[in-house]
A and B are shown apart, each in its own frame.
Chain A
Amino acid sequence: MRWLLILLGGVMLGGIAHVTAIFVLPRTATQDAYARLAPIAPVNTVVALPLPGPDKAVMPFMDPAFATAVCRYDLSRGALKLVVPVSQAYTSVSFYTREDVAYYAINDRAAGRRAIELDLMTPAQHSEMPEDENITAADRLIVESPTTTGLIVIRALAPTPALMPAAQATIGAARCGRAEQAKAAD
């Protein structure tokens, strides 16, 4: 009876510990993708990542056929505007929360123009947008970020290694920045 109690208690507590660990792990991981990118990616700026190689890669499982850039964003001081020119082959923009959860992605064909242009904001900032601006924004793509901070990953495919410089030039011309500043510059 006593052993049964020990076994049962152990299994139940073990189960609780397991579930807790699974949920806490992403929050405490010190080497998750966001943590790896934070030291090399200043906030609200597009930074090209070096091509992955056998000895060095910013993150594991990067696709070596792609030129990659990131914009580590912080929306606490306002919405963000993102402009990504489209390369010849395939260009995509993926959005991740602070916990590296992918919540949105768009590619060049879905964008259907020569550049992928969109505004990134929190749901609160979206609801605060003036009504008339919302109407004129009908053809503007607005993406809502579930978290205030996160990552935008911009990628351009080099179908052959010879096309890698062109892919890198494409992502090198991508811009992300505070929406107001972009407007002032117009």
Chain B
Amino acid sequence: MRLLVGTLLTLALAAVIGLGATYVSVTHGQGFGALTIGTWTAQPKSGTPEIDPYAKAALARLGRLPVALGDGVEFIARADDEGRPLDGRCNVELAGTTPAARYWTLTLYGLNGELVANSIERYGFTSQEILRRADGRFTITIAPRVSPGNWLPTGGVERYLLALRLYDTPVGVATKEGREVPMPSVTTRSCS
């Protein structure tokens, strides 16, 4: 009887630890070999055959395809530079420059990678659409209400994430460290 209880307890503990760790790593995992610059994180290896098993499991669960490394690199931001989760009810400012790339796109997604409905059907910007200052720097206002300049509507969702994708870029291929790569800052200005 003691042996049975002991075995059952061991198995129950194993199930909790095993499945719990799997769930957490698949839904929240950063993966190995992540390239983090400010609040932005990319996993260039996920676009190659050297993808780690955790990233592979996370992609399979989401049902998406990774951006192949020969195509581009995808940076994700879930929080502003101070670590505050991105909130669709706030005015968030994205400012600065982007790393060298032939083109880039910025897209706003819900947490499961779905586009967020809004009145003007704008889900993001490409590098060609952005209004820039004379020095090439730009500001994008991510806000629930109409805003002058480059306005990316949030649709008022509680949480969202930003994907900055660089296409035809040496980032992630040539720069192993990536510390010197300039990424735009993400700042929460005000909340309604």
A residues with a Cβ closer than 8 A to B are 2, 5-7, 9-18, 20-23, 25-26, 29, 31-33, 35-36, 52-55, 57, 59-66, 89-90, 92, 94-96, 99-107, 109-110, 146, 151, 153, 155, 157-160
Could you list some 28 contacts between A and B, CB below 8 A?
A6-B9, A9-B10, A10-B10, A10-B12, A10-B13, A10-B14, A13-B13, A13-B18, A14-B13, A14-B16, A15-B18, A22-B57, A55-B117, A59-B65, A60-B64, A92-B167, A94-B71, A96-B65, A100-B56, A100-B59, A102-B65, A105-B47, A105-B69, A105-B71, A106-B70, A107-B71, A107-B167, A146-B49
B99 contacts the other chain (CB 8 A):
no
B14→A17 contact, CB < 8 A = yes
In this complex, what residue of B is CB-closest to A151? B65
How distant is B65 from chain A, measured CB to nearest CB, in Å?
5
Contacts of A20 in B (CB 8 A): 18
In this complex, what residue of B is CB-closest to A2? B6
In this complex, what residue of B is CB-closest to A29? B60
In this complex, what residue of B is CB-closest to A155? B71
Query: Given that A6-B13, A15-B18, A102-B66 are known contacts, is A90 also in contact with B116, CB under 8 Å in the complex?
Result: no
Contacts of A107 in B (CB 8 A): 70-71, 167-168
Contacts of B62 in A (CB 8 A): 60-61
A90→B107 contact, CB < 8 A = no
B residues with a Cβ closer than 8 A to A are 2, 6, 9-19, 21-22, 25-26, 46-49, 51, 53-54, 56-57, 59-72, 102-103, 105, 107, 109, 112-117, 123-124, 126-129, 163, 165, 167-168
